[in-house]
């Protein structure tokens, strides 16, 4: 029974860590950090239940209280940063780094060219057949 809780907690923590490291949006990064915290909380509660004491549950309550305060501060920070730059992309915040740190530059992505269609395949117009206009519809119905 304990193993199932530990697996769920590890999956939550791993998904949060991967999301935090791969995303650039500040709100998504914040949500991924919260997901990692929830994975740890599940593990603490599971261990507390398995050992028959309340230490894991009590520590989780304290951690969630600190996380609620952190969420309020993070939301205020996100709003202020968005008002200044107009974007939540983390790469726009190079001026928040320490003075002795070099700026981080993104690597340009290689332009992936779309493969050419097979020469024997039919080439259709992008929008299909153009529908008749309203005037033509009215003219056709009045002739009938």
Task: Please report which residue ranges of 23-133 form alpha helices under DSSP H.
Answer: 26-51, 55-85
Most confident of the ranges 38-47, 62-71, 97-106: 38-47
Query: For the residues 3-8, what does the mean pLDDT come to?
Result: 96
Q: How many CB atoms lie within 10 A of CB 101?
A: 8
3-state helix, strand, coil in the chain (%, to 5): 65, 0, 35
Quick: pLDDT tens for 11-54. 999 999 999 999 888 888 889 999 999 999 999 999 999 999 99
* pLDDT attached to residue 116: 64
* pLDDT attached to residue 65: 93
| Domain 2-95, CATH | 1.10.287.3510
């Amino acid at each position: 029974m304990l193993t199932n809780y530990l697996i769920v907690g590890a999956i939550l923590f791993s998904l949060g860590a991967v999301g935090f490291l791969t995303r650039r949006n500040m709100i998504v990064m914040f949500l991924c950090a919260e997901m990692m915290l929830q994975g740890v909380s599940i593990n603490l509660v599971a261990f507390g239940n398995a050992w028959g004491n309340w230490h894991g549950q009590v520590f989780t309550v304290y951690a969630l209280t600190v996380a609620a305060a952190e969420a309020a501060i993070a939301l205020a920070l996100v709003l202020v940063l968005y008002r200044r730059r107009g974007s939540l992309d983390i790469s726009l915040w190079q001026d928040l780094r320490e003075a002795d740190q070099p700026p981080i530059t993104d690597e340009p992505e290689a332009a992936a060219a779309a493969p050419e269609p097979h020469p024997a395949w039919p080439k259709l117009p992008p929008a299909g057949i153009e529908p008749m206009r309203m005037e033509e519809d009215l003219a056709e119905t009045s002739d009938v």
